[in-house]
Each structure stands twice: as structure tokens, then as C-alpha cells.
Amino acid sequence: MGKPTREFGTPPVNYEVFIMEIRQPIHSEHAKTLDTAGLRKQFLIEGLFCEGEMNLTYSHIDRIIVGGIVPTHKPLALMAGKALGVDFFLERRELGAINIGGAGKVVVDGEIFEIAPREALYIGMGAREVEFSSADANHPARFYINCAPAHHTYPSRKITIDQASPEKLGKVENCNVRTIYKFLHPSILPTCQLSMGMTVLEPGSLWNTMPCHTHERRMEVYLYFDMKDDNVVFHYMGEPTETRHIVVRNEQAVISPSWSIHSGVGTAAYTFIWGMVGENQVFHDMDHVAMTDLK
């Protein structure tokens, strides 16, 4: 895992410099040898949301960038530099942002998008200037972003929670009643490869994605939030016959390689954002794992 760097372009006046951490991919055989500290170091993303900062993690797994942006008194802007090798951040990338904080605003090449809590924004490849700000510095927006390589420019667009194709799943007896909101999904708008959505568990429901699955054709990142300080989620990962767990706290994210299951159970209800990057965007294209095969 590389060291964080602040040498990421020259920021305009009044913009904060942001942090980008570089992580290498981990082979499934290597993952079997890791202890708790090793698993957390490679797959858990902590410290995403710090007021007045933009914190990014660049994973070599499908080259996804995961980040938290919390503008307060000053706007925060995406900047390019040596870490991406391009003239501007989205020269060859697309980006999805979901606001889990207070009201905010994103300006994309002069076009203003007002982003309320639980609303999303898709920004297409080629956008040169992208700036994030909060309506109230005392209750700032908290933009969670996923960013992926792209090959085509699609229009930038705001997506409200009512437009996000809600789908209710699960059963009370299985403790997994939940509603899935598909913000960035082919049924909502076109993207090159990035998909993002939010899953809200009902009170008394603790499980997500169980029975579990893998999908060799894409990786995934989970952000867990809406959790009290004394609650945790046990995120299960690994190959179906070599499962491990990572204890995740509020506003922390987990990188899930294509060879890994990605399932969690909490000590209370929670909300999570899933982001997927890979070969296809077929939502139900997954390799189901029988409960009898889990080990």
C-alpha cells in the first residue's frame, strides 16, 4: 500500500490540497495469509470524511477511486497531477457522487447542481472543472464519490431518491428487509461502467446480501453509514470457502475484489452505498453461493 501524498497539482486560490492514497491489488491466495491488521490495511478505507478535506483512495483493482469530500468554508475542487497522468481529473474518467450530509452544491464546468441529502450526481468524462461546496459550513455536505476509467462522454445529471428506482427486498424472518435505490444504473441513465446505489435496512433488519454471491466480471466497494458510535458491521469477504471478516464502523468503506463475497451483518440497522466497476452493468449478473458451500 502506497503512502498518502499531497503533491497532487497546484491548487487554485482558496482551494484545499487533497490527499490520495494508492493501493495495489491483492491476490486471493495472498489474502488467505493476512491477519486482522493485514486485512484492514489492504481492504478497509478509514478517515474518508474530514471537514474541509478531500480524501481519496486509488485502488489498482479496476483502477477505481473512492473518496470523501466535506467542503466547509471553502469549495473543494478536483485536481489532476502526476498521480493520474492527465491534464484534468476527469479527462479519461467518469464520476458518481452521493451526498450523505447536509445540503451541497457541485459546479461542473459552470453548470450548477444543487445536491440535497440522499441525492446523487453523475459527472461524465471530459468535465474540466468540478467544484464541491456546502450550503452551511456548520452542517456541511458529505459527498461520497466513486470514479472509474471511461471511454465515452455521457451527460452529467442529478438523480433524486425518487428517481432512483427503489426496489424492496428481503424477509422479516431472515432479518434482511431493505430498500435498494439505484442511482447510477442502466435503468436510470447511461454510464460507461460505473454503477452506484444505496441500500437502506429497516429497523430490526441486520443482514445485507445473504445468501451471498460473487461476480467475476466486476469489483465492488461498500460504504457503511447511518451507524451510531457503539454499533459496528461485520463485513464478510474472501472466497466462499475461505471467508474472513472486517469490523467496520460508521462512514468507513471496504474494497471488495471480484473473487470475494461481500456481505455484512450489523449490531443495528444501517445504510450502505455500493459502487461497482467492471466488465458489465447487468445488475443480476452474479454467481450465487449456496449456504451449504460457505466456510
27 is in an annotated binding site: no
151 is in an annotated binding site: no
Instruction: Report pLDDT for 282.
Output: 66
CA–CA separation, 142 and 121 (whole Å): 13
Q: Report H helices in 49-187.
A: none
pLDDT one-digit tens code per residue, 250-279 = 999 999 998 887 888 999 999 999 999 977
pLDDT one-digit tens code per residue, 183-232 = 999 999 999 999 999 999 999 888 887 776 667 777 899 999 999 999 99
Strand partners, 105: 114, 133
CB 159 within 8 A of CB 122: yes
How large is the average pLDDT for residues 3-14? 40
CA–CA separation, 274 and 180 (whole Å): 10
Nearest to residue 85, comparing CAs of 62, 58, 123, 107? 58
Please give the domain boundaries of the chain with CATH numbers for all domains: 48-152 (2.60.120.520), 162-288 (2.60.120.10)
Scored b (16 or more CB within 10 A) or e, 127-140 reads beebbbbbeeeeeb
220 is in an annotated binding site: yes
pLDDT one-digit tens code per residue, 69-107 = 999 999 999 988 777 888 999 999 999 999 999 999 999
pLDDT one-digit tens code per residue, 119-176 = 999 999 999 999 999 999 999 999 999 999 999 999 999 999 999 989 998 889 888 8
Judged by phi (left if over 0) then psi (alpha if -120 to 50, else beta), residue 175 lies in: left
| pLDDT higher than threshold 80 for residue 3 | no
Q: What is the pTM of this model?
A: 0.90
| pLDDT higher than threshold 50 for residue 12 | no
